[in-house]
Chains A and B, each alone.
Chain A
Amino acid sequence: MADAAGIEIQDVLKTYDGVRAVDIDRLRVEPRSTLALIGPSGCGKSTLLRLVVGLLAPDRGTIRIDGTPMGPGSRLALQRRMGYVIQEGGLFPHLTARENVVLVARDLGWPEARIQARIQELLELTQIPPEILERFPTQISGGQRQRVALMRALLLDPDVLLMDEPFTALDPMIRSDLQRELKEVFDRLRKAVLFVTHDMAEAAFISGEIAIMNRGSILQRGSFRELVRNPATPFVTEFIRAQRPLEAPDQSPT
């Protein structure tokens, strides 16, 4: 099982007009584990996600999802083994929340009964009131939109979850509620999760493991405590310090 890593990035280079957007020797997200990827805006984390989802092709190197290399031929099948939650949800405004959630299942030709059963499971998991599903994205709150987006990402029961700064646009109260809910969901589902954020508190809360990225490369990977105590580069120190008023969180896992 050890080689069937959830996400495996090997020797991947992606440049734009000669500028290195992503340059990573090796990065793995093990099955049933969560990795928070953090870095300032423009550090390449969004590009990295787009590479993982197959929306971009790397200049060189391989990305494997559950052992299968991502490429034009395997992209669609691999995308269906990944749940992808986009910044601000990425819900389609012309579809109701329910239609958004079942879009891919319908495309795959799932029978109606199977779709209904799966929706029931996910409603319980995400604690969304059922009537929310009948509304259009513009008619529900930002927090509910993120729950629906999570529901859409989970519908096919993927092995891998990718989350691209899902809570950035939310106000702090809702954000902290959602962070707690999401952590519970991760703990229950035990999927390989790559959680991208630029907020250190969120990263430390969501995941035991944090990878700090800058200028396309991973500078250091470890628990929050390790990053604070043994920063690999001055940038790590600086990045953590810039995120004050943050105290080392007491529930930070080891």
Chain B
Amino acid sequence: MTRAARLLLTAFWTFVLASHAPCARAEGRVTVGSKAFPESWVLAEALAHVLRSEGVADVAHRNNLGGTEIVYQALRAGGVDVYPEYTGTIAQVILHRATSATLDEMRGALSKEGIGVSEPLGFNDSYALAVTPRVHERYRLETIGDLGRHPELRLGLTHEFLGRPDGWPGLVRHYGLSMPHVLGIQHELAYTALESGRIDVTDIYTTDAEIERLHLHVLRDDRGFFPRYEAVWLYRLDLERREPRALDAMRRLAGRIDEARMIRANARVVLGHRSYGEAADSLLAEALARGPQRSGAPGATMWGAMLRNTGQHVKLVLLSLLVAVLVGIPLGVLAARSAWLGSAILSVTGLLQTIPSLALLAALIPLFGIGVVPALIALFLYSLLPIVRNTYVGLTTLPSPLEEAAAGIGLSPRAQLFRVRLPMASPAIMAGIKTSAVINVGTATLAALIGAGGLGEPILSGIQLRQGSLILQGAVPAALLALLVQRLFDLVDRAAIPQGLRLPPPGR
């Protein structure tokens, strides 16, 4: 575990950093980012198409970046050059200001970060409340204010809407509503609940494809509560110098995408099960009056995608686990040395475990960009605790006659550790590694949130698109992988745990 381990570790990080480091921002290279929902994918893909057709050599689209915090950090760090965002979100989430902030105020504040805000694309994707035609007719609901007359209505609202000040809490105050039947529900599931009549009212985004499909009636915001969520591009200001054609492309799309076009584009993906590349093409055909184009990436087959995602997943799990083993066991040994050091090491590794994964990923992006490196580091940090703790416990709970023998028969400290204590602790250590590995297979699905791929990719997309088959393409291989890892480690146990410790206990 000494020199060889250190060498291995150095080689590993050199390899990882060299192959995945956020590349130097070069001319002729633009990375478009998008969040993990269809509208964001379609818009980003549309911009990527325009850039390609304008002759920018190297255009990449990193989709499914986990949320505002992550994609914005990626933009600041340079892993992403441009992505679609909404003015209300910029004001609230990024700048922590009132949603009434003007575009110029936002530009002023963001320019200090090296970030620019484009002209609006032409549509407002705001929150609204919607009801089914049946409920609309029965209760004669036209405006949000009308809800107040029917406190018996059942509301299913998304958790985010329930929590945001520009969501339910503000709305209740603004309209003086008092609705006793309010439940939290996931956005895509809310439509299913609405359709089957389990709830009467839900919050929607005004460009959701389901509005058309379910013929939903959107309640008028007659007292002007909801702020505007104009779609704009957020981009790195250095693009102006590096790749001015990117700014041209944004200008060409300004004001060209209205609500009707965006709803249709969303519907093509969510309801028509078309790829977002195709949806982007159709959107551009409408917006720029241009003919259909060859879209960038050819559609991969299901098996090919599954194989690629599984391969990437295995790589993420194994590499992070390997480093966690190389670092975790020595940390456990160190922790077992002194009570002070032990409690310090165990507290820190325990603390790491409590950091929410999205927060950890967001914190890693400014340091390591997006993609494989921050994903590996996050997985590595989450893998540490079981390995460190089990090593520590294995080393400190030697039965007392054996402890006496280890320390009392004249063994050098080195031989005590390597010939007695570590082999004796090996079943506990192996159990810790196995726990880490299995947890890792699950946690690695989050890697897709920061563009590191893996089986989280089809799962995230499948949840957004409400396509069970797509979710299964990620979930089934992940489950099989977890079982495989379990089996694999049963074999590794035979090599790593001395034979004498695997014998049945003696009868007394």
Residues of B with C-beta under 8 A to A103: 409, 411, 415, 419-420
> Which of B401, B406, B500 is most buried by chain A, counting CB atoms within 10 A of its CB?
B500
Residues of B with C-beta under 8 A to A82: 410
Cα of A116 to Cα of B485 in the assembled complex, Å: 43
Interface residues of B in 391-433 (CB under 8 A from A): 401-402, 404-412, 415, 419-420, 423-424, 426
Task: Pick the interface stretch among A5-13, A29-37, A87-95, A199-207.
Answer: A87-95
Is B501 interfacial (CB-CB < 8 Å)? Answer: yes
Is A132 interfacial (CB-CB < 8 Å)? Answer: no
Residues of A with C-beta under 8 A to B504: 138
**Nearest-CB distance from A164 to chain B (Å)?**
8
Q: Is the interface of A mostly helix, strand, loop or mixed?
A: mixed
A-B contact count (CB 8 A): 81
Is B499 interfacial (CB-CB < 8 Å)? Answer: yes
**Nearest-CB distance from A88 to chain B (Å)?**
5
Q: Quick check: B408 and A86 within 8 Å, CB to CB?
A: yes
Residues of A with C-beta under 8 A to B406: 92
Cα of A84 to Cα of B500 in the assembled complex, Å: 22
Residues of B with C-beta under 8 A to A94: 423-424, 426, 498-501
Cα of A152 to Cα of B408 in the assembled complex, Å: 12
Interface residues of A in 79-130 (CB under 8 A from B): 79-80, 82, 84, 86-96, 103-104, 106-107
Contact flags A30-68 to B (C-beta < 8 A → 1, else 0): 000000000000000000001001110000000000000
Interface residues of A in 187-239 (CB under 8 A from B): none
Residues of A with C-beta under 8 A to B420: 92, 103
**Nearest-CB distance from A201 to chain B (Å)?**
24
Cα of A139 to Cα of B500 in the assembled complex, Å: 9
Contact for B411 among A90, A96, A107, CB less than 8 A:
A107
Is B298 interfacial (CB-CB < 8 Å)? Answer: no
Contact for B412 among A76, A84, A89, CB less than 8 A:
A76
Q: Quick check: A53 and B408 within 8 Å, CB to CB?
A: yes
Q: Quick check: B401 and A87 within 8 Å, CB to CB?
A: yes
Cα of A146 to Cα of B498 in the assembled complex, Å: 22
Cα of A175 to Cα of B291 in the assembled complex, Å: 98
Q: Quick check: B411 and A104 within 8 Å, CB to CB?
A: yes
A156-B401 contact, Cβ under 8 Å, with A92-B424, A107-B415: no
Residues of chain A at interface, number, CB under 8 A:
31
Q: Quick check: A79 and B408 within 8 Å, CB to CB?
A: yes
Contact for B500 among A88, A90, A138, A153, CB less than 8 A:
A138
Q: Quick check: B419 and A88 within 8 Å, CB to CB?
A: no
Cα of A91 to Cα of B420 in the assembled complex, Å: 11
Nearest A residue (CB) for B418: A107
Cα of A86 to Cα of B403 in the assembled complex, Å: 10
Cα of A107 to Cα of B406 in the assembled complex, Å: 13
Residues of A with C-beta under 8 A to B426: 94
Q: Quick check: A90 and B404 within 8 Å, CB to CB?
A: yes
Is A137 interfacial (CB-CB < 8 Å)? Answer: yes
Is B1 interfacial (CB-CB < 8 Å)? Answer: no
Is B505 interfacial (CB-CB < 8 Å)? Answer: yes
Nearest A residue (CB) for B427: A94
Residues of B with C-beta under 8 A to A107: 410-412, 415, 419
Contact flags B157-191 to A (C-beta < 8 A → 1, else 0): 00000000000000000000000000000000000
**Nearest-CB distance from A191 to chain B (Å)?**
15
Residues of A with C-beta under 8 A to B498: 94-95
Residues of B with C-beta under 8 A to A91: 405
Contact for B410 among A95, A138, A156, CB less than 8 A:
A156
Contact for B404 among A86, A106, A152, CB less than 8 A:
A86
Nearest A residue (CB) for B423: A94
**Nearest-CB distance from A136 to chain B (Å)?**
4
Contact flags A132-156 to B (C-beta < 8 A → 1, else 0): 0000111100000000000011001
Contact for A136 among B419, B424, B503, CB less than 8 A:
B503
**Nearest-CB distance from A41 to chain B (Å)?**
15
Residues of B with C-beta under 8 A to A136: 499-500, 503
Q: Quick check: A55 and B409 within 8 Å, CB to CB?
A: no
Residues of B with C-beta under 8 A to A104: 409-411, 415
Residues of A with C-beta under 8 A to B299: none
Q: Quick check: B503 and A84 within 8 Å, CB to CB?
A: no
Q: Quick check: B401 and A84 within 8 Å, CB to CB?
A: no
Q: Quick check: A95 and B500 within 8 Å, CB to CB?
A: yes
Residues of A with C-beta under 8 A to B503: 93, 136, 138-139
Residues of B with C-beta under 8 A to A137: 500
**Nearest-CB distance from A20 to chain B (Å)?**
22
Contact flags B186-228 to A (C-beta < 8 A → 1, else 0): 0000000000000000000000000000000000000000000
Is B506 interfacial (CB-CB < 8 Å)? Answer: yes
Contact for B409 among A79, A88, A96, A139, CB less than 8 A:
A79
Residues of B with C-beta under 8 A to A88: 401
Nearest A residue (CB) for B415: A107
**Nearest-CB distance from B227 to chain A (Å)?**
67
**Nearest-CB distance from A128 to chain B (Å)?**
18
Nearest B residue (CB) for A104: B410
Residues of A with C-beta under 8 A to B402: 90, 92-93
Given contacts A107-B419, A138-B500, A152-B409, 7 further A-B contacts (CB under 8 A): A55-B407, A82-B410, A84-B408, A86-B405, A90-B405, A93-B500, A94-B426
Residue ranges of A at the interface with B (Cβ–Cβ < 8 Å)? 50, 53-55, 76, 79-80, 82, 84, 86-96, 103-104, 106-107, 136-139, 152-153, 156
Closest 6 pairs between A and B when the two form their complex, measured CB to CB: A90-B405, A79-B410, A94-B498, A80-B410, A107-B415, A136-B500
12 contacts between A and B (CB under 8 A): A50-B408, A79-B408, A86-B404, A86-B408, A90-B401, A92-B402, A92-B406, A93-B501, A94-B498, A103-B411, A104-B409, A106-B415
